Amino acid sequence: MKKIQTILVVMAAMMALTACEKVSPIGVLVSGTGVEDRVKMSHLYFQQHKGEGHFFDISGKDEYSFIIGADSHMTTDGGRMREMLQNGLDHDDLLYAHLGDMADTKPEYYINLENVISEYKWKFARKYFEELFLGNDESVEERENPDFYMYKDSLTGMVYSVDDVPMPFFPVVGNHDITHNGWAQWSNIFHSSFYEVLVQIKSEPLTLDRFIFLDTANGTLGEEQVNLIEEDGYALREYLETNIRNTFVFSHTNIFRPSSLQFASTFAREETFFLLNQFHKWDATIVFCGHVHKWDEQVVDNVHYITLDSMSERNSPNPGDYLLRVHVKANGELTWERVRMNYTKK
């Protein structure tokens, strides 16, 4: 009994001693970069790259659409991720959003993910941009190598290498993306975990649809992000004086649990109510969530909350309606449809 008492006292002392700002007492349950650091890095990056690939002008078009997937948990098999991107490409979606847990943290899985993203950047560039071949026409090897191509966006006049092509793929970060210090890998590919995308519907008067991507991987926004949200201190703040028509919010962590058997962490009480209140203030149209691998749909305070199933071939091995496509008409009317995925592991 003495031994148990000694162990308990030592454990208690260790926890008390680690209760300082630099070494958080919750460190016994934490690994990797915290949300505060991620948000600071993301916000700084986004400020410095303001508007790069985050602004779309669809003035004069009758409709646009965007596709959403969640929890791909990619490992060695990129089949489902390819299927999502191909679906978006085939359907001419304006943007592709991903609700986090893209890969399962190991470096080799992120290399696979980056390869798939690069593959589709090339496909995207070939479909939408003017191609400039810089190699030897007679070399088959060079013709099949993306490094020998440049792509010109005829709308902006910008010229890109394949690596720099602004494919409109917008992910949020999930808890599996950053455990075991995965943020270093995630940020190397996607740079920012907290950002905003704007779609111009018409210029007179300036009317925008707003897409807000939140960093909720830790199950909390963190103090920095709460402050930025309360100040509405996003990177594209100058546009907020304009008419915002629809606001779409993307969060990895879900707000509502689909059933009592969903045991993944959701937001703590105060933060749940803070978010519900904030979504109301933003007049959010739809809040998209992932994390629990279970479809759920709620309407609370005139805001739609849609939680998507996992698109991972491991979690959802059979074909199913794992993706979601939202259609937005010029008059602001919205419809959405669930999109089937057919890929199964070979």
Partner 1 sequence: MKNLIISIVFTALMMPVLAQNSFNGQHKYDGEHKNELSGYVMCGHNIVTAFFGGLEVSYKRHLTDRWHVGVDAQSQFGKQLYSNDVHGGYRLPIGWSDFYFDGKVLYNRYQRWDTNEIIANISITWEIPYFNLRIGESLIHFHTRHFGYTEPLTFTFGTGVNIRPRWNSWNLGLFFRNYDDFYYENWNINWGLDFYASLTKQMKLFGEFNVRPAGSMSQLASKYETSGKLGIKYVW
Q: Does 231 bind partner 1 (CB under 8 A)?
A: no
Residue 229 and residue 306: Cα distance in Å, rounded? 21
Burial of 315 (0-12, 13-18, 19+ CB in 10 A): middle
The two tokens of residue 234 are: 């996003």
- Of these, 69, 78, 100, 222, which contacts partner 1 (CB under 8 A)? 222
- Of these, 220, 246, 251, 285, which contacts partner 1 (CB under 8 A)? 220
Residue 320 and residue 302: Cα distance in Å, rounded? 29
Torsional sign, CA 128, 124, 197, 300: positive
Contacts of 179 (CB under 8 A, 6+ apart): 31, 32, 105
Q: Does 17 bind partner 1 (CB under 8 A)?
A: no
- Of these, 10, 15, 44, 134, which contacts partner 1 (CB under 8 A)? 15
Q: Does 217 bind partner 1 (CB under 8 A)?
A: yes
- Of these, 81, 117, 276, 326, which contacts partner 1 (CB under 8 A)? 276
The two tokens of residue 6 are: 């000694």
Taking CB under 8 A as the binding criterion, the range among 20-28, 203-211, 231-239, 327-335 that sits at the site for partner 1 is 20-28
- Of these, 189, 206, 226, 330, which contacts partner 1 (CB under 8 A)? 226
Taking CB under 8 A as the binding criterion, the range among 112-120, 127-135, 254-262, 337-345 that sits at the site for partner 1 is 254-262
Q: Does 75 bind partner 1 (CB under 8 A)?
A: no
Min dist. Cβ of residue 173 to partner 1 (A) = 10
The two tokens of residue 228 are: 């930025």
Q: Does 291 bind partner 1 (CB under 8 A)?
A: yes
For residue 183, how many other CB atoms are within 10 A of its CB? 23
Q: Does 301 bind partner 1 (CB under 8 A)?
A: yes
- Of these, 22, 60, 155, 263, which contacts partner 1 (CB under 8 A)? 263
- Alpha helical stretches, state H, the chain: 2-17, 35-48, 79-90, 107-128, 140-143, 175-178, 183-190, 222-231, 269-282
Decide whether 88 or 100 has the Cβ nearer to partner 1.
Answer: 100
Decide whether 80 or 291 has the Cβ nearer to partner 1.
Answer: 291
Contacts of 136 (CB under 8 A, 6+ apart): 142
Q: Does 184 bind partner 1 (CB under 8 A)?
A: no
| Residue type, position 327, single letter | H
- CA-angle at 88, arms to 48 and 43, nearest 5°: 20
The two tokens of residue 281 are: 């203030």
- Of these, 115, 298, 342, 344, which contacts partner 1 (CB under 8 A)? 298
Q: Does 212 bind partner 1 (CB under 8 A)?
A: no
Q: Count the site residues for partner 1 by CB under 8 A.
A: 56
Burial of 129 (0-12, 13-18, 19+ CB in 10 A): buried
| Residue in 273, 270, 304 with CA at minimum distance from that of residue 289 | 304
Min dist. Cβ of residue 113 to partner 1 (A) = 19
Q: Does 179 bind partner 1 (CB under 8 A)?
A: yes
Using CB under 8 A, list all residues that contact partner 1. 4-5, 8-9, 11-12, 15-16, 19, 24-26, 29-32, 34-35, 175-176, 178-179, 217-223, 226, 253, 256-260, 262-271, 273-274, 276-277, 280, 291, 298, 300-302
